[in-house]
Structure 1
C-alpha cells in the first residue's frame, strides 16, 4: 500500500467538532442544539426569488466580484446600518459564504509565520483558516460573564508583533457584543502597532442588548479593516453559502484576484434571491431579533435549573455554559449529554486553545423551532447530575 504524504496544513487541520457533535444526534437520536443551522424554513419570498432566477436561466457564471445590483444593495446597507460610505465597484466582493470571505482576507494579509490575534473562546474555523495560510494564532482569553476587553490584557499581544486581529461581534460562541469603548481601544492599538483588523459580522442583526458597531466605522480604521459578512444567519439560508467582504480598493483588488481563482463566483441565481432579501423592510430585522430573544429566554431557565450556569448572550443565537456539573471535561460532558439527555451541544474544546489539556464549557444553539427547544428542555430536566 502506498504511503500518503500529506502537507503540513492538511495534518494541522482537524475534523470539525461542531459537525461531530451533530453526528451524536444520529447515533443517539438526540436533539440537535449543536450546529448553528435553523430547523425552520427560510422566508418564502427568498425561496421564490431563487426559483424564479433559475427558471429565467440565471444559471451561468456571474460577475466574479458579484452581481452589480447586489453589490449596490450591500453598499446601501453599509451606509444605512453601519454609517460607512462604500464604493460597490471597488470595495465590495460577493463570495461563497463568510467562510470564504475570511479565508481570502487572511490570504491577502498573512504570510507564513505572521501572528494573528484571536479571542478565546473563538469560532472554530479561525484556527484551520490560519493553518491554510501558515499564520500563527495569538490567543487572548476572555472570562465570563462579561468577556471584557481591557488594555492590560490586549497590549501584550500587540507588543508581540501581530499582523492582524480577528473580531467577531456579536460573537460565536459567547454572544458577546463589543462595545464602542472596546472597539476604540482596538482601533488605537491597531494604529499604534500597524495592525490590520478582520471583522466577522455575520450575526449583525441578531442583537438583544447594546448596539452593533462595525470597527470600520471607528476613526482611523477605514483602510485597515476588512469586513466579512453574509446572508446565511440573517435569512436562514446557511446552505446557500453567500457572503461578502468590504474593504479598501487596494485590499479588495487583492482579495478579488484570490477569490476569482478559488471559486470564480458565488452562485448566480442565489445572488438574485439575496437581493430580494436585502430589500426586506426594517420590520423583518426587528422581528428576527425579537424572535431569537424569545427562543433564548425559553432555553436559559432550563440550563440554570440543571446547574450549567449559562451566560445570557447579548447577541447571536448561541448560549455558553459551564460543563463541570456534567463531567470534568467538556468533551466528556457533551458525550454524556447526548447519550443520557438526548441533547447534542458542542464541547468548549472546539472554541479553545488547542493545547489546553482540560476544557470547561458547552455551547447550545437556540436557532430552532419552539417545539425543538421545548423537547430539549424536557430532556435536559430529566438529566440526573
Structure 2
C-alpha cells in the first residue's frame, strides 16, 4: 500500500440543503438528460435530484459575506508577466481580432511544439500534432467526447477535478476511480490494475495532481502505460501544473516508453502564466488522436482568443529563469501557508506540485471537513475547499477529514491567512 487511507465514518451530505457540497449516490442513469448526467458526474445533484451550486460558489459567497481570505478557488490574485500582456495589447492594436484557425494560430502551435521539445525532448509536428483549445477544460472535454460513449469506462484517480466527472457523465460512460492515499497521495498499484476492464477506453490523468498536490513518479506512470497498452486505452494527460513542482521534475507520461502513440497531453497558459481569464490551452499527441479531438473541438468553440494566442506564443519562449522563478516563488508561498496550517493544529500534507496544500482536520477532533469549511470563514476569516467534494461517495468517506487550500496568492495575503489560521484552535 502506497500510504494510509484517511479514516472516515458517516456521510457528510447535509440533508435538505439544496447546495450540494459533497458527493451523493448517483441517481441519474445513462438514459437521463445529458445535463443531468453532467450535473450528477460533478456531484451537483442531491439524492432527491435537486440541482445545487458548486462548492466553489458556496465558499466564495461565504468569503464575501464574512470578509474572509478566499483560499478556496485556485486562481492567482495578480497578473502574469508584463511582456505577455503587452504582446496581447499589441496584437489587438495590430488587428488580430477575428477568428483564429480552428486548430490555432501557427505561431502558437509552433511554440507549443518547441516547448515540448525544449523541456521534455518530445518532437511534435505543429501542423498535425498540436491543437489550440479554449483552455485545458475544452481540451479535456473534446478528448473525452471524442473517444468514449455509453457502455464505455473512463478511469481517473480519486479525488478528481470536478469537470472530469461532468464530462464523463455527459458522454454516458461509466466513471471508474482508483484512490490516491494519504500521506503521499499515490495509488496502490494492485488497486489500479483492478480498476481496468475490457471497457476502459480512456485513462484521464492529472499530473501534477489537483487537489492532492501529488507528482507521480515513473513507477506509477509506467504502470498506467502498461495497463493502458494491455487494454488498448487512450491516455489523456492533464498537465496544466507542469511548471509547478517542488524538488522533483515533472515527467510527462508521453515520455514513458510505449505511451506516445496513445497519449494526448494537455496544458494551458492559465496556470503557468497567471492569465486564467484568457482561456488559452492546447493538446498535443499523435496526429490521428489530435485529429479526432480537433473534430469534436471545432463544434464546441471552433476557435477563440486570437490576440491572446499570439501573446502566449511569445510567453512560451521566455527564458529558463522565468520558469525557475515560478517554482521558487510558489515554494516560498507554500511554506508560509503550511506554517500557519500547522499552527492551527492540522496535519499538513506538503505538496510536491501544483499550488494546493491539503490538511487533515482529525487532530483537531473534527472529522467532517465540509462542516469545518462552512465555519472557517466566520471563525478565522479564511475559506477553503473540502476534499470530499472531489470524490464519489466511497471516496468522500475516505477523505472526509481533508481540506484543500490554495497558495497562489500574494505573499502578504498568505501571511495574513497564516496569522488568522494560527488562532483556530483557541476559537474552536
TM-score (norm 2): 0.86
Which residue is 1:345 aligned to?
Answer: 384
SS where residue 137 of structure 1 aligns?
strand
2:8 equivalent in structure 1: none
The alignment status of 1:372 with 2:423, answered yes or no, reads no
Deviation at 1:151, TM superposition (A): 2.8
Q: How far, CA to CA, are the matches of 2:217 and 2:35 in structure 1?
A: 40
How far has the Cα of 1:128 moved from its partner? 0.8
Deviation string, structure 1 residues 215-258 (Cα, Å, up to 9, x no partner): 11111111211111111011000111110001211111121121
Does residue 1:249 correspond to 2:287, yes or no?
yes
For 1:274 and 1:117, the matched residues in 2 are separated by: 31
Q: Which runs of 5+ in 2 are unaligned?
A: 1-32, 45-52
Matched, 1:279 2:302: no
Cα distance between partner residues in 2 of 1:356 and 1:316? 21
Report the Cα offset of residue 177 of structure 1: 0.5
What is the deviation of 1:367?
Answer: 0.3
Partner in structure 2 of residue 179 of structure 1: 217
Q: Which of 115, 119, 137 is 1:77 aligned to?
A: 115
Alignment partner, residue 289 of structure 1: 327
Report the equivalent of 2:164.
Answer: 126
Give the count of matched residue pairs: 381
Displacement of 1:112 in angstroms is 1.4
Report if the CA contact (8 A) 1:205-1:234 is conserved: yes
TM-score w.r.t. the length of structure 1 is: 0.95
User: 1:22 maps to which residue?
Assistant: 60
Tell me by how many angstroms 1:10 deviates.
Answer: 5.3
Dislocated runs of 4+, deviation >6 Å: none
Which residue, out of 257, 260, 266, partners 1:219?
257
CA distance in 2, matches of 1:345, 1:50: 33
Matches within 5 A, 1:1-385: 7-9=35-37, 11-12=39-40, 13=42, 14=44, 15-159=53-197, 161-324=199-362, 325=364, 327-354=366-393, 358=397, 359-383=400-424, 384-385=427-428
> Larger deviation: 20-29 or 44-53?
20-29
Matched position secondary structure for 2:78: coil
**1:138 & 1:277 partners in 2: Cα distance?**
37
Cα shift at 1:360: 2.0
Shift of 1:266: 2.3
Classify 1:105/1:326 alpha carbon distance in 2 versus 1 (closer, same or farther; 3 Å): farther
Q: Separation in 1 of the partners of 2:200 and 2:108?
A: 34
How far the C-alpha of 1:126 sits from its partner, in A, is 1.2
Q: CA RMSD in A?
A: 1.6
Greater shift in the superposed pair: 208-217 or 145-154: 145-154
Change (3 A) 1:227 1:263: same
Q: Taking structure 1 as reference, are residues 7 and 38 closer, same or farther at Cα in structure 2, changes over 3 Å only?
A: closer
Deviations 1:248-292 (A, max 9, x none): 111111211211111011210101110121121000000110000
User: Could you tell me how far 1:11 is from its partner in structure 2?
Assistant: 4.8
CA contact (8 A) 1:150 1:182 kept: no
CA contact (8 A) 2:134 2:280 kept: yes
**Structure-1 residue corresponding to 2:17:** none
Describe the SS at the equivalent of 1:280. Answer: coil
